[in-house]
Structure 1
């Protein structure tokens, strides 16, 4: 299955395992890379010394390409980038910031740069900044999201129409059929997050994984747009947010309710009431916890069958 994405990253299948906070440690990244896709370590939840340890462990666990996802709004960004260079990481996915800030600096050091966007406007800015590829992430995705609520299947063809560099679709992709649909609409590959949360190698708490498996249609909602839009499973914390909204809260009041370490409490520590439980709408189609290798095998098999069925229609 060779195309622009497999050639760019030197991987077998055009699938990227998303670098998600509290879910994407070295075990998930290395298992993904060993399965023939691109594994990403999620640096957003890691102190610099912890990130270095994860990179070193990942290098021991796989001989295949892997990368690091770096949300640029996080502190210690200069130290994080320095560690990435020191440890010889060759692929960086950036998000939540201006791609011009680090793209050239990383590329001068032999690193491929991919930037995550949620709109055509930011896709064009990323292309102008010189990134090697773009991830266009739709409204369906879990975690922090775009304010415009543009769905993946609307966003992908609109971005494809305007850019010339490789395009990766994200948001609502967890099966071979959705992978094929995204590629028919113009994507060269897909980035998958929620499906890999419910994997054996994910660093998510087992209680959170089970909540993802149990989730149904309508169990997630995008909220906290005044701070940073985030898609959450509806739990006590989510209900507390909605109750606060009834009083037309200030940004400061929303920040006070959010507090610190909500995501860690929910996804990593398993506090299903007070924690922030970030997951995509596609959770309604995730029914089990599997090894990464099995997830990838199932996706690729379903993709090939679906492709043949489309040919015969």
Structure 2
């Protein structure tokens, strides 16, 4: 019989936090892990000294299972290989590698050889089958999700399709989950846990800009749009964001509208940049990429990461309940 996300990753709660680049720093990841779920720090394009500094903070901040999120399509195979090598060399076994999109087979082999767990977020049945075949925890992303979209299917439809083909795989549902009731629906569709992104954007420990957090807590699902305008730094992907003056008028010039700091280095932010506004960002925040899922209608307050985990924990015991029921039915049969 299949295992829950909590059983596979050594957690108290079958809840994963999305490794959102810029927003999901080590403060958020450690707070989530210390609360009994799976925190995840966004590695994005960090490498060498900058990545090492982040990994040091991550492993110092929690002694619980925690992840590092990497994005194969953004950095390319050579830089991804360097990132993977650093994570494996510089962190203990309790740190798992989380990939947004499918890495190459060589990456799966390298992580498996190191005895680490792999988590892979996918948006299609084909990629779900491939990731499961390599022993990964498969995060099944529906188009209800905020941020970059990996497919065109709704969450429960994709979870159900993969569950029918993969009765024993560990599937984690993602997209549009803003309440315990919605988490329970995702489990009923075949999930073994859930991944939350938007709910953690507004956490106290999140690095999201204060105006970004306020925009999320004040929005409902009708305020989100799927668009491809925020492509500088991450071309070729549709993404769900809050509607902005930029999504309303994508013919504007791609001039600089702000500046930010990443691991101590300053950067200019052009209009149409895929970079999220963080607490280190200044300028026209309201025009930047405000990634937000359809779950925002259920999210009205800025709370601690531990409070988010505690709110969802009772519903997620349903993962274990469903597993127990299936085991009993299998034994009777």
Is the TM value for this pair above 0.5? yes
Match of 1:288 in 2: 301
1:302 offset after TM fit, Å? Answer: 5.4
Say yes or no: does 1:262 pair with 2:273: yes
Match of 2:243 in 1: 234
Q: Deviations over 1:189-223 (max 9, x none)?
A: 11111000010000111111111111123111111
Alignment of 1:63-82 (within 5 A): 63-75=63-75, 76-82=79-85
Match of 2:291 in 1: 278
Q: Deviations over 1:236-257 (max 9, x none)?
A: 121122x57xxxxxxxx99x9x
Match of 1:172 in 2: 176
Matched-pair contact (CA < 8 Å) for 1:235–1:272: no
d(CA) in 1 for partners of 2:65 and 2:290? 29
Match of 2:232 in 1: none
Matched-pair contact (CA < 8 Å) for 2:227–2:238: yes
Could you tell which deviates more after superposition, 72-81 or 102-111?
72-81
Which of 107, 116, 119 pairs up with 2:121? Answer: 116
Give the secondary-structure state (helix, strand or coil) at the position aligned to 1:74.
Answer: helix
Matched-pair contact (CA < 8 Å) for 1:22–1:45: no
| Consecutive unaligned residues in structure 2, runs of 5 or more | 230-234, 257-268, 322-333
Q: CA RMSD in A?
A: 2.9
Match of 1:250 in 2: none
Match of 2:15 in 1: 15
d(CA) in 1 for partners of 2:72 and 2:135? 15
d(CA) in 1 for partners of 2:291 and 2:19? 13
Corresponding residue pairs, total: 297
Could you tell which deviates more after superposition, 74-83 or 15-24?
74-83
Match of 1:92 in 2: 97
1:259 offset after TM fit, Å? Answer: 5.5
Give the secondary-structure state (helix, strand or coil) at the position aligned to 1:218.
Answer: helix
d(CA) in 2 for partners of 1:197 and 1:214? 13
| Consecutive unaligned residues in structure 1, runs of 5 or more | 245-252, 309-313
Alignment of 1:177-256 (within 5 A): 177-224=181-228, 227-241=236-250
Q: Deviations over 1:162-185 (max 9, x none)?
A: 123211100011222111111111
Q: 1:183 to 1:67 in 2, by over 3 A?
A: same
d(CA) in 1 for partners of 2:118 and 2:80? 15
Could you tell which deviates more after superposition, 185-194 or 226-235?
226-235
Matched-pair contact (CA < 8 Å) for 1:141–1:170: yes
Matched-pair contact (CA < 8 Å) for 1:142–1:280: yes
Structure 1 length as normaliser, TM-score? 0.86
Match of 1:44 in 2: 44
Q: 1:10 to 1:97 in 2, by over 3 A?
A: closer
Give the secondary-structure state (helix, strand or coil) at the position aligned to 2:81.
Answer: helix
Matched-pair contact (CA < 8 Å) for 2:102–2:127: no
Structure 2 length as normaliser, TM-score? 0.81
Give every structure 1 segment of 4 or more consecutive aligned residues whose post-TM-superposition deviation is greater than 6 Å: none
1:151 offset after TM fit, Å? Answer: 0.9
Higher RCO, Cα 8 Å, sep 6+? 2
